Amino acid sequence: MTISSSLNAGIAGLTANASRLASISDNIANSSTFGYKRVQTDFHSMVIASNGGTYSAGGVRSTTQRIIDQSGPLVSTSNPTDLAVRGRGMLPVTKVSELNTGNGDPQMLLTTTGSFRTNADGLLTTESGLALLGWPALPDGSIPSFPRDTSDGLEPVQINVNQFSGEPTTRMSLGVNLPATETDSTSLGEVQELSVEYFDNLGTSESIRVEFTPTVPATGASNTWTMVMRDTASDNAIIGEYTLTFDDSRTAGGTLATVTTVAGGSYDPATGSVIVNVGGGPIEIDIGMIGDNDGITQLSDRFAPVSISKDGQPVGNMTSVEIDANGLVHAFFDTGITRTIYKVPLVDLPNPNGMVALDRQTYAPSPESGTYFLWDAGEGPTGDIVSYAREESATDVAGELTSMIQTQRAYSSNAKVIQTVDEMLQETTNIKR
C-alpha cells in the first residue's frame, strides 16, 4: 500500500538522520583530540519498482565512513619525541599491553601522530598505551635490509637513558711542521716528539707517540727524517717506521718528496696515509700526499703541530633522543657523539579509508585497504616525519554545526511525514463510521 510505504520511508529518514547526528556528535566531541579523523555520513536512496501508476516510497539508507586520509593541521610542541606525519603515510605502533603479555608478535597498528615518551622499560610510548615501532640499527649506525611488505622486522623503539657509549678511533690526520734547520750539518739533530691521543674499542684513552729523528749529514742539509710510531697500548712497541724526505725546490719547497716504509703499513701515495695496527686494531693515519703542504712539512726552524684531528670519542652518557624527518632515531651523548639507534618507517596503503578504525586514533589494515608497504620517510609516495609536532583533529566545528542544523531540520521533516501518514490513516479508519 502506497500510504504504508510513506510511513516506512519516514521511519527510514528518522533512522538515517539519527545516524548522521551520531557521527556529527562524535566529530564535535573529538574536535580537540590529536590525530582524530572525522566520520562522514552519506545518504543513498532506495528505489522500489512501481506498477499500475502508483508509486511506493523506498526511503533512504545511510552509510558512514571515517576519512582517514584527511589530515588535520600540525602544531608545534616542546617534546622532541612528539611526532606527526606531514603528507602521506602512517607511523607503526603497537599496544603496550600486548608487549607485556608476550604472546607472540604484537599486532602492528597505524597512527598519524603521537606524544611519545620513555616508560619504565625505556620504550617510547604514549599515555594511551601505544609503543612506537622501528627497525633497529647495527652498532655502526647503519640500518640493515628488512622486509618491506611485512612488520616482522619491526621492534619497539627502546631508549636506554642510562646507556654509556664510546667510539673507537679509526682515523687521524697529522699536520706537523718539522724544522728544516735540524737536518743541516751544523745542527744538533734533536729528536722531535709528539703524542696523539686515541680511544680504543672500550673507550679508554691511549696514545700514539711519534718520534721524528733528523738525519744530519757531514756537509749540507739532508732534508731527511725518520718517523717512528709507538703505541702505549702495546707497551710502547713500534707500530710503524718511515723515512721521510722533503723537497727543497723553489716551487714545492718543504713538502714531502718521498716516503719509504721501514716497518708497519705501506704508505699509499694516492691517499697520503699509512695504516698502523694498535692494540685494538688498525688506524689510518694521514701524513699528507707527495707535494702537498697539508700534511707533514719541513719549513723554517720550528717544530709545530699545526693541525691534528681524529675521530672517536670517549665513553659518555646519553643526554637526549631526537627523530629526524627521515625517521632516523638519533641518540645524543654528553661527549658529542650522535649515534643512530633505530629507523621508523612510514606505512602506506592503496586505500587508507578502508582500514579498520580502532580506539586511541589507531587503525588496522584490512582487505578493503589493500596491501601495505613500509617506506623510508620522505621516499616514494610518503611524506616526512615532523618532530616537536602533533597533528590536530581533522574536525571543522563550524561545518559540523551547520550539518547539525540541516540534520535537525531533516529529522523534523521526516517526523512530520509520519504524523501526516498517521492522520491519513485515521481518516481512512473514519470512513467506516
Query: What pLDDT sits at residue 44?
Result: 93
Residues 301, 181 within the same domain: yes
Query: What pLDDT sits at residue 333?
Result: 82
Q: In whole angstroms, what is the distance from residue 177 CA to residue 334 CA?
A: 33
Does some domain include residue 316?
no
CA angle 17, 21, 26 (to 5 degrees): 150
Q: In whole angstroms, what is the distance from residue 181 CA to residue 301 CA?
A: 5
- Statement: the pTM of the whole predicted model exceeds 0.85: no
| Share of residues in the chain with pLDDT > 70 (%) | 97
Task: Tell me the pLDDT tens digit for each residue of 180-236.
Answer: 999 999 999 999 999 999 998 888 889 999 999 999 999 999 999 999 999 999 999
Contact 37, 66 (CB under 8 A): yes
Does some domain include residue 335?
no
In the predicted structure, residue 163 carries a pLDDT above the cut 80: no
State which residues form the domain around 409: 2-67+394-430
Lowest mean pLDDT segment, chosen from 125-134, 161-170, 245-254: 161-170
Average pLDDT of the segment spanning 105-129 = 94
Residues 398, 387 within the same domain: no
Does some domain include residue 324?
no
Task: Tell me the pLDDT tens digit for each residue of 383-395.
Answer: 999 999 999 999 9
Contact 132, 115 (CB under 8 A): no
Residues 218, 291 within the same domain: yes
User: DSSP of 83-131, one letter per residue?
Assistant: EEEESS-BEEEEEHHHHHHT-SSPPPEEESEEE-EE-TTSBEE-TTSEE
Does some domain include residue 173?
yes
Lowest mean pLDDT segment, chosen from 10-24, 111-125, 414-428: 414-428
The domain that holds 214 is classified in CATH as 2.60.98.20
Does some domain include residue 16?
yes
Residues 228, 253 within the same domain: yes
Residue among 400, 407, 395, 402 at smallest CA distance from 30: 395
Would you call 408 helix, strand, or coil by DSSP?
A: helix
Residues 189, 285 within the same domain: yes
Burial of 433 (0-12, 13-18, 19+ CB in 10 A): exposed
Residues 188, 298 within the same domain: yes
362/120: higher pLDDT:
362
163/56: higher pLDDT:
56
Query: What pLDDT sits at residue 170?
Result: 93
Residues 375, 398 within the same domain: no
Q: In whole angstroms, what is the distance from residue 266 CA to residue 306 CA?
A: 24
Residues 40, 117 within the same domain: no
Average pLDDT of the segment spanning 41-63 = 83
Average pLDDT of the segment spanning 30-59 = 86
Task: Tell me the pLDDT tens digit for each residue of 348-365.
Answer: 999 999 999 999 999 999
Confidence of residue 165 (pLDDT cuts 50, 70, 90): low
In the predicted structure, residue 1 carries a pLDDT above the cut 60: no
Does some domain include residue 146?
yes
Average pLDDT of the segment spanning 149-159 = 94
User: DSSP of 190-249, one letter per residue?
Assistant: PPEEEEEEEE-TTS-EEEEEEEEEE---SSSB--EEEEEEEEGGGTTEEEEEEEEEE--S
In the predicted structure, residue 53 carries a pLDDT above the cut 80: no
Q: In whole angstroms, what is the distance from residue 334 CA to residue 309 CA?
A: 20
Query: What pLDDT sits at residue 425?
Result: 87
Residues 381, 269 within the same domain: no
Cβ neighbours of 236 (radius 10 Å): 11
Q: In whole angstroms, what is the distance from residue 239 CA to residue 228 CA?
A: 8
Residues 62, 95 within the same domain: no
Average pLDDT of the segment spanning 71-79 = 96
Of 261, 296, 311, the position where a domain reaches its end is: 311
Confidence of residue 129 (pLDDT cuts 50, 70, 90): very high
Average pLDDT in the chain: 92
Does some domain include residue 72?
no
Of 311, 328, 356, the position where a domain reaches its end is: 311
Lowest mean pLDDT segment, chosen from 152-161, 173-182, 243-252, 320-329: 152-161
Residues 134, 264 within the same domain: no
Average pLDDT of the segment spanning 360-380 = 95
Query: What pLDDT sits at residue 51?
Result: 66
Residue among 271, 247, 246, 244 at smallest CA distance from 260: 244
User: DSSP of 52-68, one letter per residue?
Assistant: TT------EEEEEEE-T
**How many domains is the chain partitioned into structurally?**
3
Query: What pLDDT sits at residue 73?
Result: 96
Residues 173, 301 within the same domain: yes
| Share of residues in the chain with pLDDT > 90 (%) | 78
Does some domain include residue 317?
no
